[in-house]
Chains A and B, each alone.
Chain A
């Protein structure tokens, strides 16, 4: 593999040289909108899927749009610099996955002043000239926390897994969920391990929390990236009945929620076992929808400044395995994919009635339906 890695990096020099040619070629084929995607970070499954979906949306509209994707790294100044450079490069629209809801405001304002249409997705930005395509995190946390509270019969000990501290998404979610659990005096939050929205960190945090507790004393688990890892730990500790959990959106969690024998497992705990859970996640298709809406704006259509992504609540009652995952099939209500097709950490939140271009293939390889 190192060899192929080295080959790839050698190929990069020629790729840089080729970039010079394609840029001039693109100038010739005008009449297309020049749209840039500015990502702050690409190092996890969610971002990879979001990028794939945007790519698929651009391919579905290849007659109208010339899309260029760039990543700045998780440093606000670099994303500011990137947005400025995109404006300078003649962008018609810029789609942003913002590293911060506030720090990019001056750069976004500057882009708007230059007549560039700016869309932020997933996390919102507070600059009023920008359009936001977001998931309602308060609603997401409230719905999932209510489900977990009910599954615990509104009493018992709960483990509350938090995300990346200091971000709006984490703060909004935690506040909403705390508000729900506070309604039920018999529910006691006994530990708040930090999961950083990462399976590996969540596993570590849960192990630390359980070093001084017994799974037998726990009645519920809540938090992003909490479920696969808590159920796996319960199985390893020999617990007979799995504990209700919400609310990640990974295929691994959903496969575990499927009734036993519903699909062939892919090893380890990536197997249908009827685990009690509620699956909800920030929609990775927000970027794709943002691109579609940006084209609408460029074509003179009226678009709302705030678009909220659909929140499909998947529980053991409505969980359903997809065969192929085409948009039509997703529309019919399937929401989980065969363990043989995708890794367990892959997000199976794909369906959005507003984006028929985006199905399973879009999320996996960036091909439109």
Chain B
């Protein structure tokens, strides 16, 4: 280094800075590009009015997204963000009066509520070592329920002074208060980053074990992160309260996905350890300006979600097409293959060693150190799997006993179990797809749109026709698989994060559904499909028998095939898998294709179940599918999972919602109980080390 002439050093420093702040630079560049594009199209250019209104609408989103960014940098994930926004919003709107003391008190209590939810999350995740996704999902249900108990419908009034103080102009005509808030939030972030806590945050997020070995108080840092994030979500709720002058229990939860988008547009990596909050603020601003773009270019309503999805992919891609992008490795590999083929006249056949290796591994397991007895031997051999599969069945058994005690007198076991199995069948099929993706270390958020699209295509292609269904059902499943494969290709070729690739794909496909159906899906279910889901065969709904076959096939696929072993290897460590000769990329693409295919099958099943297709029919299934996967013992970080665990999760969740529907409780209470039971159910899944 010292040999480098000083004249060359400056650019290198600049280069390093550029590289270190790559994400932030892309976020700012995207924002500037959007503003320029808008300025070109707007007759009056981008005025102070545009700036203030954008800053105002983006502030709540940006504050919440800052909280989420901190959690993600620390290597976590928080699904309760949207719910906490509404909690703070309703808590304040329902109680605040016009005195300054009351305003200060309720603002403080609103922020404290956020901190309390964060502490609850942090306690379960850090000290009880539960997985962040399932903990924060359960918290989301609990907090949504509590919010409804505070304010059952939109209402409440906030004194005008409160709104004026938080959302007016700081300097009339020059600086809106919202910009001051954003600047303050960024200042807090910079201060924090300058302290040891800031360093620990990144250290804990990039490599937890290494950080611990270096003496970083990882647990304390992670706990603090969730509390801090809760405060930021609540701050978003406070600003929202001032901005809207009222409370609305439904306003927060839909913000969750936009929060993720703002984080990604801001250049923060979902892998943890990289990113920052300044980019997030620009991400939130960009997201708001997309609304203006759609208006200025007069994008038709049914195309809006497709365009948003495409813009999201474009924005993320533009930041990742540098020299290091995986796509160039693929191009390089192809070139090598081409050269080899040209030289030898035929492609070489590498890596045929995997299957014999697998058989030897199996032979070794059959050794004499295991107990001699059949059952004891089986238990010992499968102990690790049993440990993560059993909790779901244990909880299921408890709920079944509870159901029998409560409702046993007024129903017959055959009716109950038939309903349970029919409703679980949707969840189990989705759980195979989502479960495989999660085992591979990813997440598939495109499920709702694929389910809907498949349903719409089926009723359009095979309207009340069994003969058309013969080709339409396979065709629809292939379409779902292709959409999934596209997800996989985006992830493999361009290094996109699964969460963002599949979220964007969801938007794109949702737009296709609207355009294809022109808003109103046509046709009814083919009679055979309707019979499968609602008819009778030997006293049961026919799908129950198909379900049994599916369970057998899925169990074999996940646990007893080369694909299943590769899947777990890829999820445990892509690098290790690659050097062990596992075709990592092909396995990933296949996994996402499997997930798309499973979603499409559920689309077909739902059409049979409700008689026709609806544009909103896939939406309710995403979060339950993720919950099933985690309750079933799958590790969110990848590498571990068994289909029988997923099946247990599907049965447990269905039995739980069934018993809650049977009880005559308000929706709010049901939501709280649902969340609490999930937490209790996964307590058995405690990880050995956090």
Please give the residue numbers on chain A whose beta carbons come within 8 Å of chain B beta carbons, in ascending order.
Answer: 1-2, 4-5, 8-9, 12, 15-16, 19-20, 22-23, 36, 39, 42-45, 47-49, 51-52, 68-78, 80-82, 84-86, 88-90, 99-106, 110, 126, 162, 164-168, 170-172, 189-194, 196, 198-201, 203-205, 207-214, 217, 228-229, 232, 236, 252, 266-270, 342-346, 364
State which of B155, B291, B619, B657 has its C-beta within 8 Å of the C-beta of A72. B291
Question: A71-B301, A102-B154, A191-B661 are known contacts. Are A45 and B246 too (CB-CB below 8 A)?
Answer: no
Closest 3 CB pairs of A and B: A48-B519, A102-B246, A267-B464
Question: A45-B615, A68-B298, A77-B255 are known contacts. Are A9 and B54 too (CB-CB below 8 A)?
Answer: no
Residue in chain A with minimal CB distance to B153: A171
**Bound state CA distance, A261 and B384, in angstroms?**
62
State which of A102, A164, A200 has its C-beta within 8 Å of the C-beta of B248. A102
**Bound state CA distance, A43 and B515, in angstroms?**
11
Whether B620 and A196, one on each chain, are in contact in the complex, defined by CB atoms closer than 8 angstroms, is yes
Whether A23 and B298, one on each chain, are in contact in the complex, defined by CB atoms closer than 8 angstroms, is yes
Q: Interface segment, B3-11, B304-312, B363-371, B640-648?
A: B304-312
**Bound state CA distance, A16 and B518, in angstroms?**
20
- For residue B524, which residues in chain A have a CB less than 8 angstroms away from its CB? 266-268, 270, 343-344
B320 contacts A by Cβ under 8 Å:
no
B296 contacts A by Cβ under 8 Å:
yes
Whether B302 and A77, one on each chain, are in contact in the complex, defined by CB atoms closer than 8 angstroms, is no
Whether B519 and A51, one on each chain, are in contact in the complex, defined by CB atoms closer than 8 angstroms, is yes
B354 contacts A by Cβ under 8 Å:
no
**Bound state CA distance, A211 and B296, in angstroms?**
51
Whether A343 and B522, one on each chain, are in contact in the complex, defined by CB atoms closer than 8 angstroms, is yes
Point out which of A22, A200, A270 has the most chain B C-beta atoms below 10 A from its C-beta. Answer: A200
Whether A211 and B58, one on each chain, are in contact in the complex, defined by CB atoms closer than 8 angstroms, is no
- For residue B665, which residues in chain A have a CB less than 8 angstroms away from its CB? 192
Whether B606 and A200, one on each chain, are in contact in the complex, defined by CB atoms closer than 8 angstroms, is yes
In the complex, chain B residues 262-309 whose Cβ is within 8 Å of any chain A Cβ: 288, 291-292, 294-308
State which of B54, B155, B258, B295 has its C-beta within 8 Å of the C-beta of A75. B258
**Bound state CA distance, A76 and B89, in angstroms?**
13
Please give the residue numbers on chain B whose beta carbons come within 8 Å of chain A beta carbons, in ascending order.
Answer: 41-44, 47, 49-50, 53-54, 56-58, 60-61, 147-148, 152-155, 163, 167, 240, 243-251, 254-255, 258, 288, 291-292, 294-308, 310, 403, 406-407, 410-411, 415-416, 419-420, 422-423, 457, 461, 463-464, 479, 482-483, 508, 510-512, 514-516, 518-525, 527, 530, 534-536, 606, 609-612, 614-617, 619-620, 654, 657-659, 661-662, 664-665, 667-668, 670
Residue in chain B with minimal CB distance to A232: B611
Residue in chain B with minimal CB distance to A164: B250
Point out which of B461, B516, B519, B658 has the most chain A C-beta atoms below 10 A from its C-beta. Answer: B519
**Bound state CA distance, A364 and B517, in angstroms?**
12
Whether B520 and A268, one on each chain, are in contact in the complex, defined by CB atoms closer than 8 angstroms, is no
- For residue A201, which residues in chain B have a CB less than 8 angstroms away from its CB? 620
- For residue B416, which residues in chain A have a CB less than 8 angstroms away from its CB? 211-212
Whether A89 and B296, one on each chain, are in contact in the complex, defined by CB atoms closer than 8 angstroms, is yes
A-B contact pairs, 22 of them (CB 8 A): A1-B479, A9-B512, A15-B300, A20-B297, A22-B298, A39-B301, A48-B519, A52-B519, A70-B294, A102-B245, A102-B246, A106-B163, A106-B244, A210-B415, A211-B415, A211-B420, A212-B411, A268-B525, A270-B611, A342-B520, A344-B611, A364-B520
Residue in chain B with minimal CB distance to A197: B616
Whether B616 and A198, one on each chain, are in contact in the complex, defined by CB atoms closer than 8 angstroms, is yes
Residue in chain B with minimal CB distance to A344: B612
- For residue B519, which residues in chain A have a CB less than 8 angstroms away from its CB? 42, 45, 47-49, 51-52
Whether B611 and A269, one on each chain, are in contact in the complex, defined by CB atoms closer than 8 angstroms, is yes
Closest approach, in angstroms, between the C-beta of A324 and any C-beta of chain B?
19
Closest approach, in angstroms, between the C-beta of B544 and any C-beta of chain A?
13
Residue in chain A with minimal CB distance to B479: A2
Closest approach, in angstroms, between the C-beta of B161 and any C-beta of chain A?
14
Closest approach, in angstroms, between the C-beta of B30 and any C-beta of chain A?
17
Whether A102 and B515, one on each chain, are in contact in the complex, defined by CB atoms closer than 8 angstroms, is no
- For residue A214, which residues in chain B have a CB less than 8 angstroms away from its CB? 410-411, 415
Question: A5-B515, A198-B617 are known contacts. Are A16 and B522 too (CB-CB below 8 A)?
Answer: no
- For residue A211, which residues in chain B have a CB less than 8 angstroms away from its CB? 411, 415-416, 419-420, 658, 662
- For residue A48, which residues in chain B have a CB less than 8 angstroms away from its CB? 518-520, 615
**Bound state CA distance, A236 and B300, in angstroms?**
41
Residue in chain A with minimal CB distance to B258: A75
- For residue A203, which residues in chain B have a CB less than 8 angstroms away from its CB? 609-610
**Bound state CA distance, A291 and B525, in angstroms?**
37
State which of A86, A104, A204, A343 has its C-beta within 8 Å of the C-beta of B521. A343
Whether A268 and B611, one on each chain, are in contact in the complex, defined by CB atoms closer than 8 angstroms, is yes
Whether A207 and B422, one on each chain, are in contact in the complex, defined by CB atoms closer than 8 angstroms, is yes
Residue in chain B with minimal CB distance to A123: B154
**Bound state CA distance, A8 and B295, in angstroms?**
19
**Bound state CA distance, A229 and B533, in angstroms?**
13
State which of A15, A166, A207, A345 has its C-beta within 8 Å of the C-beta of B250. A166
**Bound state CA distance, A342 and B58, in angstroms?**
41
- For residue A89, which residues in chain B have a CB less than 8 angstroms away from its CB? 295-296
- For residue B56, which residues in chain A have a CB less than 8 angstroms away from its CB? 80
Question: A164-B250, A211-B662 are known contacts. Are A199 and B614 too (CB-CB below 8 A)?
Answer: yes
Closest approach, in angstroms, between the C-beta of B414 and any C-beta of chain A?
11
**Bound state CA distance, A54 and B186, in angstroms?**
44
Point out which of B251, B422, B606, B654 has the most chain A C-beta atoms below 10 A from its C-beta. Answer: B251
Whether A76 and B248, one on each chain, are in contact in the complex, defined by CB atoms closer than 8 angstroms, is yes
Whether B61 and A42, one on each chain, are in contact in the complex, defined by CB atoms closer than 8 angstroms, is no
State which of B288, B616, B620 has its C-beta within 8 Å of the C-beta of A81. B288
Additional pairs, 15, CB under 8 Å, beyond known A44-B616, A47-B519: A23-B41, A45-B521, A49-B519, A84-B53, A88-B42, A88-B47, A102-B245, A166-B152, A208-B654, A236-B534, A236-B535, A267-B463, A267-B524, A343-B522, A345-B521
Question: A16-B297, A100-B248, A171-B152 are known contacts. Are A42 and B514 too (CB-CB below 8 A)?
Answer: yes
- For residue A168, which residues in chain B have a CB less than 8 angstroms away from its CB? 153-154
State which of B155, B295, B411, B610 has its C-beta within 8 Å of the C-beta of A199. B610
**Bound state CA distance, A99 and B619, in angstroms?**
17
State which of A75, A106, A166, A268 has its C-beta within 8 Å of the C-beta of B243. A106
Question: A77-B255, A208-B658 are known contacts. Are A71 and B304 too (CB-CB below 8 A)?
Answer: yes
State which of B53, B246, B527 has its C-beta within 8 Å of the C-beta of A103. B246
Point out which of B482, B483, B667 has the most chain A C-beta atoms below 10 A from its C-beta. Answer: B667
Whether B306 and A103, one on each chain, are in contact in the complex, defined by CB atoms closer than 8 angstroms, is no
Whether B254 and A208, one on each chain, are in contact in the complex, defined by CB atoms closer than 8 angstroms, is no
- For residue A84, which residues in chain B have a CB less than 8 angstroms away from its CB? 49-50, 53-54, 57
**Bound state CA distance, A275 and B116, in angstroms?**
52
Whether A44 and B667, one on each chain, are in contact in the complex, defined by CB atoms closer than 8 angstroms, is no
- For residue A345, which residues in chain B have a CB less than 8 angstroms away from its CB? 520-521, 612, 614
**Bound state CA distance, A2 and B296, in angstroms?**
28
Whether B662 and A45, one on each chain, are in contact in the complex, defined by CB atoms closer than 8 angstroms, is no
Question: A16-B297, A69-B301, A103-B248 are known contacts. Are A343 and B612 too (CB-CB below 8 A)?
Answer: yes
Closest approach, in angstroms, between the C-beta of B511 and any C-beta of chain A?
8
Whether B664 and A19, one on each chain, are in contact in the complex, defined by CB atoms closer than 8 angstroms, is no
Whether B251 and A103, one on each chain, are in contact in the complex, defined by CB atoms closer than 8 angstroms, is yes
